[in-house]
Homo-oligomer: A and B are copies of this chain.
């Protein structure tokens, strides 16, 4: 296709993503899942930024409704629930890593280590794959104990 067409992106393509992610907290929830391994309500609630519990509940609900996140019972502990990213949610990794990279480049007080910055700069696609795989392993871990018990 001619590159000319690639410039004809207009209105629609962003309204969908912004209806879902167009606020601070939704993004932070997904980041906490990916990078901090959060998968329980209380873990999100204890996050550094301090989400209000009602906002947290409504955002998790929205993410589940839109298919970015699934909710299931923790097989190890019936009074806990586990939240995990679906493939749809995982497909946001590149966007999020680019935003992290941008912050690293432009935030005068960034706390992103230079090694990671350099890694994102030179091996972006590899970083995406790495995060994806680490997350998959982590999710397995969340269910493994139960399997061992049975």
Enumerate chain A interface residues (CB-CB to B < 8 A). Answer: 1, 3, 5-19, 21-24, 27-28, 31, 35-36, 47-49, 67, 88, 91-92, 94-96, 98-100, 102-107, 109-113, 115-116, 118-120, 126-127, 130-131, 134
Contact = CB atoms under 8 A, between A and B. Distances in A.
A9 B35 contact: yes
User: What's the dominant secondary structure at chain A's contact region?
Assistant: helix
Complex copy number for this chain: 2
Contact of A99 (B17, B67, B102): B17
A19 B88 CA distance: 25
Given A9-B35, A95-B95, 8 more contacts: A3-B127, A5-B115, A9-B100, A10-B36, A14-B96, A14-B103, A18-B24, A21-B99
